[in-house]
Amino acid sequence: MSSAPAKRILLKLSGEAAMGDQSFGIDPATVARVAGEVKQAKDQGYELCLVIGGGNIFRGMAGAAKGMDRANADYMGMLATVMNALAMQDALEHLGVATRVQSAIPMSSICEPYIRRRALRHLEKGRVVIFAAGVGSPYFTTDSGAALRAAEMDCDALYKGTSVDGVYNADPKLVPAAKRFDAVSYDQVLNQNLKVMDASALALCRDNNVPIIVFNIREQGNLAKVLAGQGVSTIVN
Ligand code: UDP
């Protein structure tokens, strides 16, 4: 038996990761599949924090573009992340994984408020902690929420599961010759405006030495591969 200490990681999933092949909303079968991968990581001894975006339901910017007040629209986006968090909690608990949802915006009938020390205790007890509502303020994203919680929880790394398999020098969906980096520095991402996370999230990771691993969560079994250092991904550090 290995006596290596458990690695604590934060897994950030875009809201789209909960959508499956739908164009909107939550696909329970997809959430269940991702929950299975989270359970597998937990069974391997990882301590897991989760942050799920809300883009499959509502993005503040989209509301603002249609004339809504930006802050109001962002609060709606944050509420969307709570729905995704509850869907993931449900899927994980169906698999027998103990979880807690903590929201940056207190909603005591639904979940716990974010309390750092309590979250740390949950992790120590082997529970998966799902952080909802981003940082709790408009004009931010769940990437910033993920970066902040990863730093607060003293995570070894932030794994960002998206629909692309890493960081490219151009958008691979538009430029077929785009090249994927195996590794890239925080400053290169910021200076070249590469698509990883928004600048405030990235700077927070840089300033707190949280490496970011970008990988494709849509591919079944990929989380385990990437955690084992085998899957296709890009590390930002
Ligand atoms: N949001 C916010 N503050 C936060 C986190 C999220 O205002 O700290 C809002 C914002 O409107 C955002 C939406 O919630 O568009 C959904 O989050 P995000 O766009 O990060 O989701 P993802 O792209 O990861 O699915």
Q: Of 59, 66, 69, 114, which is best to mutate to test ligand 1, by the most ligand atoms within 8 angstroms of its C-beta?
A: 59
Taking the model in full, what pTM does it have?
A: 0.96
Q: Of 66, 74, 75, which is best to mutate to test ligand 1, by the most ligand atoms within 8 angstroms of its C-beta?
A: 74
pLDDT in tens, 56-78: 999 999 999 999 999 999 999 99
Q: What letters, b where the CB count within 10 A reaches 16 and e where it falls short, cover 203-222?
A: bbbbeeebbbbbbbbbeeeb
How many structural domains comprise the chain? 1
> Do the bridges between strand 8-13 and strand 99-103 make them parallel or antiparallel, or are there none, so unpaired?
unpaired
The structure tokens listed for 181 are 């980096």
ipTM: 0.98
pLDDT at 2: 47
Tell me: pLDDT of 123 over 70: yes
Q: Is 141 annotated as a binding residue?
A: yes
User: What does the CA dihedral 201, 207, 210, 211 come to, rounded to 10 degrees?
Assistant: 80
Residues with Cβ within 8 Å of residue 115, at least 6 apart in sequence = 102
With respect to residue 2, please indicate whether it lies within any of the assigned structural domains.
Answer: no
Using 50, 70 and 90 to split pLDDT, how confident is the model at 217?
very high
> Do the bridges between strand 233-236 and strand 212-216 make them parallel or antiparallel, or are there none, so unpaired?
antiparallel
User: What does the CA dihedral 129, 135, 136, 141 come to, rounded to 10 degrees?
Assistant: -110
Q: How far is the CA of 104 from the centre of ligand 1 (A)?
A: 12
With respect to residue 171, please indicate whether it lies within any of the assigned structural domains.
Answer: yes
With respect to residue 3, please indicate whether it lies within any of the assigned structural domains.
Answer: no
Q: Of 81, 144, 152, 204, which is best to mutate to test ligand 1, by the most ligand atoms within 8 angstroms of its C-beta?
A: 81
Q: Nearest-CA neighbor of 140 among 69, 200, 80, 73?
A: 200
Using 50, 70 and 90 to split pLDDT, how confident is the model at 173?
confident
Ligand 1 neighbours by CB, cut-off 6 Å:
14-16, 53-55, 59-61, 74, 77-78, 80-81, 134-135, 137-138, 140-145
Question: Cβ distance 188 to 196 under 8 Å?
Answer: no
Quick one: which atom of ligand 1 is closest to the CA of 145?
Answer: 8
With respect to residue 47, please indicate whether it lies within any of the assigned structural domains.
Answer: yes
From CA 232, how far away is CA 226, in angstroms rounded? 7
Looking at residue 180, the DSSP 8-state letter turns out to be B
Whose CA is closest to atom 23 on ligand 1? Answer: 55
Domain with 118, as residue range(s), is 8-236
With respect to residue 114, please indicate whether it lies within any of the assigned structural domains.
Answer: yes
Q: Is 14 annotated as a binding residue?
A: yes
**Residue 99: which CATH number?**
3.40.1160.10
With respect to residue 213, please indicate whether it lies within any of the assigned structural domains.
Answer: yes
